[in-house]
Amino acid sequence: MNKKIFLLIFIGLGVASFYYFDIEQYLSFESLKINRDKLNVVYQENPIFFISWFIGVYFLTVALSLPGATVLTLAAGAIFGALPGTFVVNIGATLGATASFLSARFIFRDWVTGKFGDKLEPINKGISESAVSYMLFLRLVPLFPFFLINLILGLTQVRISIYFFVTMLGIIPGSFIYANAGSNLARINSVSDITSPKVFGALVLLGIFSLIPALYRFVKK
């Protein structure tokens, strides 16, 4: 069987299983508030197993572009604490994003390049010259869906090493904000309570600063 078809079937089965078995109900904010104490007990009894399991769940959620990463980040803060939770989330999210990136590249890039190669060449050139700046902006500013960034960048010529390390760095602020909120879970009534205009503005400002090197290169030309 063609490797691309096999991978598509695997991804499709993973996504279909998620919805068929209604796993989304366990990744809701309400479910987290109800089951937090139970999860804490499991973590205290076997921390290494629980952390490994948690990273695996986070990895699959991101790799398959499933909903639930936000609640998982809150859960990490609630169970592990703000800083350790951010670290655990960073591992799962970075590995999952990289898997999604590589899957999109392996399955679709040849077809997209063959179909739109000439139109994509200027985009690829611009991204290649300032990959770190553009990627940091996309990761820092919470306007762009995480899964969409993974898939689109997989169709570009961004090197895997740059993608991996910039993703790891770029998601730290957002991860910490949600993990820190999760460590104070009792005070939160909904996910929308977390992102205040000040927090959003600070992330946008960080994103703009990350574009300065790219803007400098553009002006210098």
Among the listed residues 93, 88, 90, 68, the one whose alpha carbon sits nearest the alpha carbon of residue 78? 88
Q: Is the dihedral of CA 174, 65, 14, 91 positive or negative?
A: negative
Identify the residue with better confidence: 202 or 178. 178
- Give the pLDDT confidence of 1-25 residue by residue, as tens digits: 588 889 899 999 999 999 999 999 9
DSSP state of 144: S
Residue 215, Cβ neighbours under 10 Å: how many?
A: 12
How many domains is the chain partitioned into structurally? 1
- Give the pLDDT confidence of 63-107 residue by residue, as tens digits: 999 999 999 999 999 999 999 999 999 999 999 999 999 999 999
> Which residues constitute the domain of residue 33?
3-220
Could you give the C-alpha distances from 138 to 14, 33, 167, in angstroms and in order? 27, 30, 9
